[in-house]
């Protein structure tokens, strides 16, 4: 019996790509570059600011301008963190169903707390989650299992009683290492060269409401 469902944030719980894409394109425009198509940016969003700057400027992390550009991206994003971001269709209904069945839920993300916390607050879900674990909450980040194990301790639940849902291979690796059931969110930020069928999740879903069927609710 699953007692808790934990979600990755970007690309699983919330569709944050529009705000992150807008932030990257603003930096590109400021630097005299042409903006990128949203469809080009979306698959990279789960990998954070470093990946977005690499995508937009084709620079290595060691380039003298890299950190300046990354910090500018995050500054713009922080100031517009929930302007275009919404929950994925079906998440709100799913959360209600979980509550009706006495199943708690939480967030485990690699996003740093200084971005996670205001986003969850502005979306109106910070006080509804049983736990929110950010990328800097513990000393390790996914694919290490520690953030997921920390979430279990917070909600008083065994990993074997938890389901973790994510849209990246590191999510599935972390969930499996923690001893949880795992679902791959195919509606999230999957790259064309990804092979989610090889990640080893217990199942793959095309819509959040499929979680209800997986849990037998």
pLDDT digits (tens, 9 = 90+) for 162-185: 999 999 999 999 999 999 999 999
Of 8, 15, 19, 171, the active-site residue reads 8
pLDDT digits (tens, 9 = 90+) for 53-77: 999 999 999 999 999 999 999 999 9
Clarify whether 202 is annotated catalytic: no
Pairwise CA distance, residues 94 & 208, whole Å: 7
Per-residue H/E/C for 54-91: HHHHCCCCCCCCHHHHHHHHHHHHHHCCCCCCEECCCH
- Give φ, ψ of 120 to 5 degrees: -65, -35
Residue 198, C-beta contacts closer than 8 angstroms, at least 6 positions apart: none
- Does 46 score more than 90 pLDDT? no
Looking at residue 181, the DSSP 8-state letter turns out to be: E
Query: Which parts of the chain fold into alpha helices (H)?
Result: 17-30, 38-41, 48-57, 66-79, 91-100, 113-123, 146-155, 169-178, 210-215
Is the CB of residue 76 less than 8 Å from the CB of residue 117? no
What confidence score (pLDDT) does residue 148 get? Answer: 98
Mean of all residue pLDDT scores within the chain:
97
What confidence score (pLDDT) does residue 180 get? Answer: 98
Nearest residue to 42 (alpha-carbon basis) of 183, 191, 206: 191
Nearest residue to 163 (alpha-carbon basis) of 113, 94, 117, 116: 94
Clarify whether 10 is annotated catalytic: yes
Is the CB of residue 123 less than 8 Å from the CB of residue 85? yes
Of 10, 15, 167, 171, the active-site residue reads 10
Edge-to-edge strands of the sheet including 162-166?
A: 131-133, 104-108, 4-7, 162-166, 181-185, 203-205
Q: The tokens of 168 are what?
A: 């990246």
pLDDT digits (tens, 9 = 90+) for 77-119: 999 999 999 999 999 999 999 999 999 999 999 999 999 999 9
- Does 126 score more than 90 pLDDT? yes
Region 199-217 average pLDDT: 97
């Amino acid at each position: 019996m699953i007692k808790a469902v934990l979600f990755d944030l970007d690309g699983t719980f919330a569709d944050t790509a529009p705000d992150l894409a807008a932030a990257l394109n603003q930096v590109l425009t400021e630097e005299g570059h042409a903006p990128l198509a949203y469809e080009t940016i979306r698959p990279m969003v789960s990998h954070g600011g470093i990946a977005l700057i690499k995508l937009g400027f084709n620079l290595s992390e060691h380039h003298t301008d890299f950190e300046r550009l990354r910090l500018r991206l995050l500054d713009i994003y922080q100031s517009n963190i929930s302007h275009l971001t919404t929950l994925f269709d079906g998440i709100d209904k799913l959360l209600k169903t979980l509550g009706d069945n006495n199943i708690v839920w939480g967030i485990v993300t690699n996003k740093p707390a200084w971005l996670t916390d205001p986003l969850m607050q502005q979306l109106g879900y910070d006080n509804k989650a049983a736990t929110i674990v950010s990328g800097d909450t513990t000393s390790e980040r996914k694919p290490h299992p520690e953030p997921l194990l920390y979430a279990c301790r917070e909600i008083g639940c065994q990993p074997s009683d938890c389901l973790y849902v994510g849209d990246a291979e590191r999510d599935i690796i972390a969930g499996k290492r923690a001893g949880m059931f795992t679902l791959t969110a195919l509606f999230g930020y999957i790259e064309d060269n990804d092979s989610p069928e090889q990640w080893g999740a217990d199942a793959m879903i095309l819509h959040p409401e499929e979680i209800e069927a997986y849990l037998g609710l």
